Amino acid sequence: MAEVKISFYGGVEEVTGANFLLEIDNKRLLIDCGLFQGFTFADHRNWDPFPYDPKSIDALVVTHAHVDHVGRIPKLIHDGFQGKIYSTPPTKELAEIMLRDTAHILEKKDEKYGLAEIYTEENIKKALSLWQVMPYHNVLMLSRQVELSFRDAGHVLGSAMAVFEYNNKKIVFTGDLGNSPSPLLRDTEEVTDADYLIMESVYGDRNHEARNRRREILASIIEKNFQKKGVLLVPTFSLERVQELLFEIDELVENDLVPVTTIFLDSPLAIELTRVFKAHQDYFNKKTQFIIGAGDDVFNFPGLRPTLKTEESKNILKSPPPKIIIAGSGMSAGGRIVHHEKNYLKDPKTTLLLTGYQTPGTLGRQLEEGARKVTILGEEIEVKAEVVKIDGYSGHKDSDHLVEFVEKGKKTLKKVFVVMGETKAALFLANRLREKGITAVVPKLNESVFLDLNH
């Protein structure tokens, strides 16, 4: 009997903490093992015991390298997991950098919960030794009857949807779905043959306005900052968003569409991740591969100044405006950006540019919602800067495109489980899908469901 069980252990009615258990053909398989990231970079729930015995898990399948999908892997190892880990090649390389960076942040910040103990060099090394890579569309047998393959999700470099095939039925975990067309990556592949879909819903209730005008808007913000001799602060995610912005600015600068401005890339993490991008250019879309083939280094242009050392970062203050500072973290929940925000948000000539999702409770969310007074590094700061947002650079599909993605596969779909979005977004998307005649539910945390794969 082909009965299958899925348990929803994280990334349920919230964006972060993705963790799903698939019990199939006598195998226990995890999909993603992400960090819960709410009010803090890593909230205390991350150190609660897993609701299953990690020793009993046969394998972990990783969709992509964002910390909210890989961040609890060191804990899984620490708690006894011995199985194999599977992902695409770029995901493994990027995850290694992300996990080491997370270890470094936790070392400084979270002694309170003893979090750093789990992020030891040893646990990360062990994870990497268990980790096997597989390109898109290859097939791997996870048991006598269960096949695993990856399809391009178009979200970040190497991001994948995990497809499990059993008894001629397919269960697809989307991971995060890219906001295609992306400047760099290929479009999200279609899924028209799935029986069950476990899908993300970060933007389930919103559309990205002005997606087609994103580069134009970016150019006008850079131009305006140049004219008023201001400081343009860009808190950004080091994985994918930075590389996309660099690519876009490269195009703008080299085609004389914006004036050359000093641009500090003030993120050792982003600088390191960009190296992985350069090593996997075959994962880029055709247009980008063509530009690279014609001899352009798409992540380098006049005015760009990567700042690796702390001392170089501090010296940015001395550099005269106009200037642009790109730094992490993307939600201003730590990292070098908060130092710049502390220095510059009180200046009306400053522009703060948000380019992505801001989790409730973070400084980024406060600023997005128009807070005029914020506390940064223990100091109260009056916000006089202009806060602008370009939604078009989001790494996630918006509501209309999520619906379109599912609708294309409607014929074979029996049920859609809507996860990895705040409650409101998930419920809204499920509702929209039901209106299209598709069975869609929003599971509860720790809920288990049985799928009948006989029919």
Q: Which stretch binds Zn ion (CB under 5 A): 17-25, 86-94, 172-180, 219-227?
A: 172-180
- 66 or 339: whose CB is closer to Zn ion? 66
**Shortest CB 66 distance to Zn ion, Å:** 4
Q: Which stretch binds Zn ion (CB under 5 A): 102-110, 173-181, 184-192, 318-326?
A: 173-181
- 4 or 191: whose CB is closer to Zn ion? 191
End-to-end CA distance of the chain: 11
**Shortest CB 158 distance to Zn ion, Å:** 11
Count of residues that bind Zn ion according to CB under 5 A: 2
Neighbouring C-alpha atoms within 13 Å toward the C-beta of 169: 18
The encoded tokens of residue 138 equal: 């290859």
**Shortest CB 319 distance to Zn ion, Å:** 33
Q: Which of 12, 46, 66, 174 forms a contact with Zn ion (CB under 5 A)?
A: 66
Q: Which stretch binds Zn ion (CB under 5 A): 60-68, 105-113, 187-195, 270-278?
A: 60-68
- 176 or 244: whose CB is closer to Zn ion? 176
- 199 or 453: whose CB is closer to Zn ion? 199
Asked if residue 101 binds Zn ion (CB under 5 A), the reply is no
- 6 or 15: whose CB is closer to Zn ion? 15
Q: Which of 160, 162, 177, 136 is nearest to 31 (CA)?
A: 162
Dihedral sign, Cα of residue 236, residue 424, residue 445, residue 440:
negative
Q: Which stretch binds Zn ion (CB under 5 A): 170-178, 208-216, 318-326, 443-451?
A: 170-178
- List residues bridging with 170 in a β-sheet: 165
**Shortest CB 218 distance to Zn ion, Å:** 21
- 123 or 174: whose CB is closer to Zn ion? 174
Site string for Zn ion, 387-416 (x = CB under 5 A): ------------------------------
Asked if residue 422 binds Zn ion (CB under 5 A), the reply is no
**Shortest CB 87 distance to Zn ion, Å:** 13
Q: Which stretch binds Zn ion (CB under 5 A): 62-70, 76-84, 164-172, 352-360?
A: 62-70
Q: Which stretch binds Zn ion (CB under 5 A): 141-149, 175-183, 408-416, 420-428?
A: 175-183
Q: Which stretch binds Zn ion (CB under 5 A): 3-11, 50-58, 59-67, 316-324?
A: 59-67
- 43 or 251: whose CB is closer to Zn ion? 43
**Shortest CB 63 distance to Zn ion, Å:** 8
Interatomic CA distance for residues 197 and 176, integer angstroms: 12
- 66 or 336: whose CB is closer to Zn ion? 66
**Shortest CB 153 distance to Zn ion, Å:** 9
- CB burial readout 316-335, b (16+ within 10 A) else e: beeeebbbbbbbbbbbbbbb
The encoded tokens of residue 399 equal: 């509501």
- 93 or 176: whose CB is closer to Zn ion? 176
**Shortest CB 156 distance to Zn ion, Å:** 6
The encoded tokens of residue 332 equal: 């201003």
Asked if residue 176 binds Zn ion (CB under 5 A), the reply is yes
Residue 398 phi/psi, 5-degree rounding, is: -90, 180
Q: Which stretch binds Zn ion (CB under 5 A): 65-73, 96-104, 109-117, 195-203?
A: 65-73
**Shortest CB 40 distance to Zn ion, Å:** 19
- 226 or 237: whose CB is closer to Zn ion? 237
**Shortest CB 313 distance to Zn ion, Å:** 26
- 96 or 176: whose CB is closer to Zn ion? 176
| Cβ atoms within 10 Å of 376's Cβ, excluding its own | 17
**Shortest CB 24 distance to Zn ion, Å:** 24
Interatomic CA distance for residues 55 and 69, integer angstroms: 20
Q: Which stretch binds Zn ion (CB under 5 A): 35-43, 176-184, 360-368, 437-445?
A: 176-184
- 176 or 422: whose CB is closer to Zn ion? 176
Question: Would you tell me which residues interact with Zn ion (CB under 5 A)?
Answer: 66, 176
